[in-house]
Amino acid sequence: MKKEKQIAKDEDEELVSLCQKGEVDAFEALVRRHQKRMFNIAFRMLGDYDEATSLVQDAFLSAYRGIKGFRGESAFSTWLCRIAINLSKNRLQQLKAQLRHEAFSLDDPLLSDNGQIKIDPASGDPSALEVLEKKNIQQKVQGCINTLDPEFKEVLILRDIQGFPYEEISEMLRIPEGTVKSRLFRARASVKDCLKKFIGDL
Amino acid sequence: MECQQIQERLSAYLEGSLPPAEKALIEQHLKPCQRCQEALADLRKTIEVVQGLPEVEPPAWLTQRVMARVRSEAAPRKTIWERLFYPIPVKLPLEAAGVIAIAVVTIYVFKGIQPEMHLGKAPLEGMRGPTISEVKRPAVPPSSMPEGKTQEKEKAIWGKGIEPKPTQPPEQPMSQGRKEAPAPALRYDQVSPSAGEGKRAEPRREVLSDKEEAGSGFDLTKARDELKSGARPAAPQPEALAKKPTGQPATQGQQGAQAQAQAPVPAERENRAMSSVGAIVKDESRPESLSAAPRGGETHEERVKEKSDRQALSAAPAAKALAEKRQAAIHLTLTVKDLDAARPEIEKALSQLGGRIIKMETIEGKIVLSAELSSNQVRKLLDRLRDLGELKGGTVDSAAEEGATEMIRIEALRAQ
């Protein structure tokens, strides 16, 4: 596993150096390698598919602009994720400001005015019931994640969803490992409480 | 430990990152505490659920979209450069075309003006040599050289130097040269000196009309060569010969004379010579040769003749043009008592007669004035100038076309 990661890292470095020489195709390879993770981080951070799509584009574009300044002090994936996280946090701030201005938005299905999750009415289709149930839970989990403050959210996403080691998260977010952990535990507790509130029994 | 405290540490407990003592404490608490057990279960479930969140597939077109933006990002940079420098590829040709257009227009405009300018200039160029010499003639004491000899030598030169004009038929001048040249040469018993003088004379004449006279120079040298017992190598290039007398053996005096010939001073001497040459030539009743020294005060007619000869001679169109221009010129030398007073008078006379002053300059105590005047007014001008002082030159060409414009060059000198 570690070996694979190392190989991936080496390949990244190679592609990055090609990019730095101006090879756009090498960047495309990097996009293909990292876009899924980037997208998932963005999606979990923003809680919205379309937002995530547009954010990933922005993140890659900004990575492309900044790739000549990338010195390889951290792994390329770490660097890339930091960009996604930072952009996501900025975007969240923008959305929050927008929410305050727009009293109610139809395009905002996940958050209600008070920042709580709207409960989607259950579909009556029995054959899809189980699937819906699972989906429903996942949506609710996402809804709970959405309620978290960004600094807790990011830790939870990076650790529990993306599975980054503490060390890397600490590097990515530029906070001490201890802070990562304490934030993670608080985030988990919040989500747990949130889920309990909406679903009752877990 | 309170339940609250325990629940805060449950996450760390699940992670297994607690120190053993703390872990034991929690386990101790959990056993009896239902609430905390539940909380632990919920937490486990939560983590499980969160970690079990499925990966979301990004849209299939994401890569393309990203790359499209990246490539347009790479391209826009180019277009930014292009926007900055695009004007240049477009403008440069435009600017180049503009410059060329201006140049062409300028040339055309100047071509339109040029005839006038030439008229104004040409006589000046042609006259400069003689005029200066004439002016200085009185100023320079002829004593700088053994008078008799040099002067006579110079006469000889002029006798030869003059020949060129009639040279038209290549043979003729030769024979003439042969006839005439021997006389002075024999007189002084110095063949080579005369040759040297011939050379000396030539550079000066080149000033007068550069290439035009090349032919005559050639004849001169030929004649000279023949004079010098034909032992010398024929001159391949008359001009070169004239300027560089190196090819010929020369006595010391000769060389000195040559050196002087190139300096401005010799001009004076030559002038002196010229006048005397004029005399000689006249004596020998050879009007063609006279023409070489128009400053000597020969008639306009003669000059015109000479020039037409030259004109025919010269193949070069430039020389031809020059000759034509010269043809139109009348040279007058006016010796007055008060130069400053004379000047406005001359100007007045010219303007009253409808003349146009082209150029006027004051050189070392003399006034050189170039003007255009219709030929039927020239006589009147001469009369008026005669009133101002002693007038030399300026025989009016009666054959001049009615209404033609004459170039007039007036040199006003202070009487001494």
Residue B334 lies in a domain: no
Q: State the residue range of the domain holding A158.
A: 109-202
List chain B residues with CB under 8 Å of A60: 66, 69-70
Q: Please report which confidence band the pLDDT of residue A149 belongs to, taking 50, 70 and 90 as the band edges.
A: very high
Are B42 and B184 in the same domain?
no
Which among B327, B345, B365 is the end of a domain? Answer: B327
Q: Give the CATH number, domain containing residue A162.
A: 1.10.10.10
Whether residue A24 and residue B74 make contact (CB cut-off 8 A), yes or no, is: yes
Q: Which residue has the higher pLDDT, A3 or B141?
A: A3
User: In chain B, which residue's Cα lies nearest the Cα of A181?
Assistant: B12
Which among A43, A71, A105 is the end of a domain? Answer: A105
Residue B381 lies in a domain: no
Q: Smallest Cβ distance to B54: which of A138, A156, A195? A: A138
Nearest residue to A18 (alpha-carbon basis) of A26, A28, A6, A10: A26
Give the C-alpha separation, B208 to B126, whole Å: 5
Q: Would you state the pLDDT for residue A91?
A: 92
Q: Would you state the pLDDT for residue B217?
A: 43
Whether residue A188 and residue B42 make contact (CB cut-off 8 A), yes or no, is: no
Helix ranges, B144-251 (H): 147-162, 171-180, 182-188, 191-208, 214-227, 238-243
Which H helix or E strand runs over A4? helix A2-20
Q: Please report which confidence band the pLDDT of residue B269 belongs to, taking 50, 70 and 90 as the band edges.
A: very low
Residue B259's CB is within 10 A of a number of other CB atoms, namely 12
**Terminal C-alpha separation, chain A:** 32
Nearest residue to A64 (alpha-carbon basis) of A95, A38, A100, A92: A38
pLDDT digits (tens, 9 = 90+) for B75-105: 655 556 665 555 565 667 777 888 999 999 9
Return the percentage of chain B with pLDDT > 90, whole number.
3
| A69, pLDDT greater than 60 | yes
Average pLDDT, chain B: 63
List chain A residues with CB under 8 Å of B73: 61, 64-65
List chain B residues with CB under 8 Å of A19: none
Give the C-alpha separation, A16 to A23, whole Å: 9
Whether residue A31 and residue B49 make contact (CB cut-off 8 A), yes or no, is: no
| B126, pLDDT greater than 50 | no
Reported as half-sphere exposure (CB side, CA atoms, 13 A), residue B382 has a value of 18
Q: Which residue has the higher pLDDT, B259 or B36?
A: B36
Are A101 and A68 in the same domain?
yes
Are A18 and A113 in the same domain?
no
Q: State the residue range of the domain holding B199.
A: 140-327
Give pTM, 2 decimals: 0.44
Total structural domains in chain B? 2
Whether residue A141 and residue B70 make contact (CB cut-off 8 A), yes or no, is: no
Does the CA dihedral B158-B159-B164-B170 come out positive or negative?
A: negative
Are A86 and A123 in the same domain?
no
Q: B69 to chain A nearest CA, in Å? A: 7
Least confident of A15-24, B349-358, B400-409: B400-409
Whether residue A160 and residue B7 make contact (CB cut-off 8 A), yes or no, is: no
Which H helix or E strand runs over B391? strand B390-393
Whether residue A28 and residue B53 make contact (CB cut-off 8 A), yes or no, is: no
Q: Which residue has the higher pLDDT, B54 or B249?
A: B54
Per the listing, tokens 């010929």 go with B248
| B247, pLDDT greater than 60 | no
The rounded Cα B84 to chain-centroid distance in angstroms is 39
Whether residue A141 and residue B45 make contact (CB cut-off 8 A), yes or no, is: no
Q: Would you state the pLDDT for residue B348?
A: 84
Average pLDDT, chain A: 83
Residue B16 lies in a domain: yes
pLDDT digits (tens, 9 = 90+) for B373-382: 887 888 888 8
Are A155 and A73 in the same domain?
no
Give CA torsion, residues B204, B233, B316, B122, to 10 deg.
0
Whether residue A64 and residue B58 make contact (CB cut-off 8 A), yes or no, is: no
Which among A45, A76, A105 is the end of a domain? Answer: A105
Are B172 and B290 in the same domain?
yes
Q: Would you state the pLDDT for residue B385?
A: 82
Q: Smallest Cβ distance to A57: which of B51, B65, B71? A: B65
Give the C-alpha separation, A92 to A97, whole Å: 8
Are A149 and A161 in the same domain?
yes
Are B41 and B152 in the same domain?
no
Q: Would you state the pLDDT for residue A200?
A: 67
Q: Give the CATH number, domain containing residue A97.
A: 1.10.1740.10
Are A4 and A21 in the same domain?
yes
Q: Which residue has the higher pLDDT, A63 or B238?
A: A63
Q: B6 to chain A nearest CA, in Å? A: 12
Residues 6+ apart with CB under 8 A from A31: A60, B63, B66, B67, B70
Per the listing, tokens 């509130």 go with A197
Ramachandran angles phi, psi of B346, nearest 5°: -65, -45
Whether residue A39 and residue B45 make contact (CB cut-off 8 A), yes or no, is: no
Q: Which residues of B touch A (CB under 8 A)?
A: 7-8, 11-12, 15, 17, 39, 41-43, 45-47, 49-51, 53-59, 62-63, 65-67, 69-71, 73-74
Whether residue B50 and residue A137 make contact (CB cut-off 8 A), yes or no, is: no
Q: Smallest Cβ distance to B43: which of A49, A181, A188? A: A188
Q: Smallest Cβ distance to B11: which of A28, A36, A188? A: A188
Which among B327, B349, B382 is the end of a domain? Answer: B327
Between vectors from CA B265 to CA B260 and to CA B268, what angle results, nearest 5°? 115
Q: Which residue has the higher pLDDT, B56 or B93?
A: B56
Q: Which residue has the higher pLDDT, B106 or B255?
A: B106
Least confident of A31-45, A175-189, B132-146: B132-146
Average pLDDT over residues A88-115: 70
The answer, for A56 touching chain B at a CB cutoff of 8 Å, is: yes
Ramachandran angles phi, psi of A173, nearest 5°: -95, -5
| B53, pLDDT greater than 70 | yes
The answer, for A81 touching chain B at a CB cutoff of 8 Å, is: no
Total structural domains in chain A? 2
Are B47 and B146 in the same domain?
no
Q: Please report which confidence band the pLDDT of residue A54 belongs to, taking 50, 70 and 90 as the band edges.
A: very high
Are B177 and B318 in the same domain?
yes
Which among B327, B350, B374 is the end of a domain? Answer: B327
Helix ranges, A74-119 (H): 76-101
Nearest residue to A202 (alpha-carbon basis) of B25, B49, B298: B49
Average pLDDT over residues B311-330: 52
Are A57 and A115 in the same domain?
no
Average pLDDT over residues A186-197: 89
Are A183 and A141 in the same domain?
yes
The answer, for A24 touching chain B at a CB cutoff of 8 Å, is: yes
Q: Would you state the pLDDT for residue A22?
A: 83
Are A176 and A117 in the same domain?
yes
Does the CA dihedral A83-A85-A86-A88 come out positive or negative?
A: positive
Residue B348 lies in a domain: no
User: In chain A, which residue's Cα lies nearest the Cα of B52?
Assistant: A161
Q: B90 to chain A nearest CA, in Å? A: 28
Which among A60, A79, A105 is the end of a domain? Answer: A105
Q: 3-class DSSP state for residue B146? A: coil
User: In chain B, which residue's Cα lies nearest the Cα of A182?
Assistant: B12
Cβ pairs bridging A and B (under 8 Å): 102
Residue B98 lies in a domain: no
| B254, pLDDT greater than 60 | no
pLDDT digits (tens, 9 = 90+) for B4-33: 888 888 888 888 888 888 888 888 888 888
| B276, pLDDT greater than 50 | no
Q: Smallest Cβ distance to A28: which of B46, B51, B67? A: B67
Q: Smallest Cβ distance to A56: which of B11, B58, B71? A: B58
Q: The tokens of A198 are what? A: 């909406």
A56 with A35: CB under 8 angstroms? yes
Residues 6+ apart with CB under 8 A from A127: none
Q: Would you state the pLDDT for residue B413?
A: 81
DSSP B145: S
Are A133 and A172 in the same domain?
yes
Residue B267 lies in a domain: yes
Q: Would you state the pLDDT for residue A53?
A: 93
Are B42 and B179 in the same domain?
no
Helical packing angle, B34-51 and B3-15, nearest 10°: 40
Whether residue A60 and residue B66 make contact (CB cut-off 8 A), yes or no, is: yes
The answer, for A33 touching chain B at a CB cutoff of 8 Å, is: no
Are A161 and A113 in the same domain?
yes
The answer, for A191 touching chain B at a CB cutoff of 8 Å, is: yes
Are A115 and A170 in the same domain?
yes
Residue B71 lies in a domain: no
Whether residue A161 and residue B54 make contact (CB cut-off 8 A), yes or no, is: no
Residue B112 lies in a domain: no
